Amino acid sequence: MKSDSSGTSDLERVIGRAAVEAARMSSQASQAAKKILGDVTSEFGETKSLEIAAIDLLETDDELVALVALPGASKEKIDLRVTEDSLYVEAKANPREGRYLRREINTMGLKREIKLPVEVKPEQVRASFKDGILEVRLPKLVIVNAKRVQVD
């Protein structure tokens, strides 16, 4: 087996070229499938499944703030559920009139459920929806220091 000045053997170069060619072919196949499926979904209307909604979760001293991206949704079509340790969101987008030339926003809906890193008070949760972003404010459950009890 020969090596060049960088220490790369002929076999390593051949394998590297094969890997690059395989990745290129895979990328081309993926693009072709997206083009074909994109044409099919635009002809038939909607995709067949719910997609995962993007979410940002921030923490302050008193609360968690979840920002959920729900493009095309209306607040009437948002299903928001909160327990002490989880957040669940599901929403459907409103389809527009006209013939779609390209369709990437899933009107079947978006869905997301996450486990929260701290316990919250579900009865005090507040939510607002503006410009396609659902903002959910989740007050943290405050644990009061335990009181020492005398054992008799």
- Residue 135 burial (CB < 10 Å; 0-12/13-18/19+)? middle
Report the Cα–Cα distance between both ends of the chain, in Å, rounded: 83
So where are the chain's domains?
A: 1-44, 51-139
Report residue 125 as tokens: 């949760």
**pLDDT (tens digit per residue) in 69-92:** 998 888 999 999 999 999 999 998
**CATH code for the structural domain at 51-139:** 2.60.40.790
Tell whether the model's pLDDT for residue 33 goes beyond 60: yes
How far is it, in rounded angstroms, from Cα 86 to Cα 116?
Answer: 5
**pLDDT (tens digit per residue) in 100-146:** 888 877 777 899 999 999 999 999 999 999 999 999 999 999 876 77
How far is it, in rounded angstroms, from Cα 110 to Cα 113?
Answer: 11
- Would the pTM count as exceeding 0.75? no
Looking at residue 111, its amino acid is K
